[in-house]
Amino acid sequence: MLDCQKITDEIQSVLAAASDHSHEAIAAVHRDYLEAVREVNARLGVCRDLLARGQRSEAIRQCNAEPNLLDAVAILDFPDRTSWCDLLARQRLPRPPDLLIDAAADLNDAYTAEQPIERLLRNHRLLALARAPLPRRIQTLRAIRAADPENPIWERDLRDYENARLHELRCEMQAAVQAQDLGCLATLEQEVRARDWVEPVPQDLARRIIQAHGEVRQRAARQELGRLAGELNQAFSSFDLSRGRELRTRWNAAAAIGLTSDADELLEMAGPALEWLQQEDQQVQAGRQRESAVAALERTLEDFVEYHELERAWHAVRRSGGEIPVALQRRVAERFRYLEEASTRRHRFALAAIVLLVLAASAAIGLGVVRHLRARQVEEHAARMGSLVTGGELVQAQQYAENLQQSAPDICSEPEIQECLARIRKAVVEDQGRRARLTTCLDAVQARDASEPSWDSLAAAWQDLEEGKKLAKSDEELARVKTLELRISERRRQMQKAVDDRFLKDLTSLEADFSRVERTDLNEIAVLMARARQLQKQPHVSAELLGPIEPLIARLNAYRQAEADRDRERRQLERFTND
């Protein structure tokens, strides 16, 4: 295949000084470029057909054949291609065909989709070479199918593997039943119960495996119960309570599997020991309930609770059974007597309070009418001043207060009016503080605008502007804030443009070096990777410009990983061959 980089370099040389090149020289370069485009488009067409048939791995292999197809597309689709076509038109030479960019984009997407399953595919190949057991190979193939659900090949392969595995299951089940291999049968049951089979497990096979596992499991459990029954009786004979409880835990686990009925002979063998343990547990539980009831009663005595709460705690202790300490009985009796006397005193005080309230109500009726009229006046003046303050009309509120103090000084002595006057004075002071803070913020913005601009100073100026927006209220204040905001925005736009221009220049240089790098040159790939990551971390770059960096890093990683995987695969194949 022609050297695409050499051809594009020659085209760039022609475009730089077209007048110095003859028609024959331009035609010769055009023929080379035309042939290169046709070869690249032919390879792209083959890869596109492979992708359409679901053969993504083969398409990527064809793309990776030297020279790399995507690299060739990037070289031939150079930025000045439009200028080259215009020059060809002036020389009356045919326009070269367009590159199959859509097919190249599909190939690039295939690279992205292939990376997550590449390691799975390699493991699948190594398991096949090593003739690994079918369950391991099926598990790997299921993971590949889940990672690549759009490819129909994996489901077809998985059906073939699962059909072969179903034949193996019948033989393994028979061997496990003959050997009474409980672990093997448990594994087989777990396998047939799994929900990720593509080829359904026959119901008769699944039923036979589950039944065989249950029978062997029950037989093993009954053997364990027989041994535990003897040990339980020994613990009962020696009154070893801790040992008996430990054995009972193991007995309950095995009984859930091995006991067939309530009249099972194994249950009769262990019955006396189990009843003894149950009685011991009941005694311990009763003791704990009694201790809890006594503790609750002592807490009620310490907290001086009401009569009914103390009575409820006392009955709980009596219901728990056992002897109640004499000292506790004496404390409870004294507390009941104290609560009864206190209740009697409260009733007497309540009756006297009712009589006093009736007398006071009669005297208050006469004063109520006068106070009602005065209260209405106070309420109206307070509501008027409150509405003025709430509406921000502080000047009108001050005038209203001054008029009221002159016309009705007695009204101004009321607490509600005094509170409104204080509110007006506080609002005036707060408004003065607001205007002072606004002036400070806007003066700081003007000072930063006049100084040498930097990202930190612009950020601080923008923060001051945000604070100014919150403080500004009048039209004049809002207009001043808006003017400063436009000036700071223009400064920020200019700085952003300078940063983005530098970034684009560095990115163009990096992409040019990437198009010329050898895929096997790990040192150069590492240098390009470091440059790409440094570009990615440059501060203040517009987010939309960072888009090409991540795919470029992914391609570099793919080159490096592919070389490392090829080396690892060679070593593994050598080990399998030697074995």
Which residue pairs, CB below 8 angstroms and at least 24 apart, start in 570-575? 572/126, 573/129
Q: Tell me which residue has tokens 């190594």.
A: 126
Report yes or no: 5 and 40 within 8 Å, Cβ to Cβ. no
Residues 6+ apart with CB under 8 A from 151: 54, 56, 145
Per-residue pLDDT of the chain (579 residues; tens, 9 = 90+): 568 888 888 888 888 876 677 888 888 888 888 898 899 889 889 988 988 887 777 887 888 888 888 888 888 888 888 888 888 888 888 888 888 888 888 888 777 666 666 677 777 777 777 778 888 888 888 887 777 777 777 788 888 888 888 888 888 888 888 888 888 888 888 888 888 888 888 888 888 888 888 888 878 888 888 888 888 888 888 888 888 888 888 888 887 777 777 767 777 787 788 888 888 877 787 778 777 877 887 787 777 677 778 778 778 777 777 677 777 778 778 777 877 777 676 666 656 556 556 455 544 444 554 566 677 778 888 887 787 778 777 777 777 778 878 877 877 778 888 888 888 888 888 888 888 888 898 888 878 777 777 888 878 888 888 888 788 877 778 888 888 888 888 888 888 888 888 888 888 888 888 778 777 777 888 888 888 888 888 888 887 778 788 888 888 888 777 777 777 777 777 766 665
**Amino acid at site 446:** Q
Please tell me the chain's helix, strand, coil percentages from 3-state DSSP, rounded to the nearest 5.
Answer: 85, 0, 15
Q: What pLDDT, on the 0 to 100 scale, is given for residue 42?
A: 92
Cα–Cα distance between 550 and 507 in angstroms, integer?
12
230's tokens: 């003897």
Q: What is the dihedral of CA 320, 325, 327, 332, to 10 degrees?
A: 20
Structure tokens at 421: 């006057």
DSSP string for residues in 25-74: HHHHHHHHHHHHHHHHHHHHHHHHHHHHTT-HHHHHHHHHSSSPHHHHHH
Cis amide bond preceding 96, omega within 30? no
Please give the model's pTM, rounded to 2 decimal places. 0.37
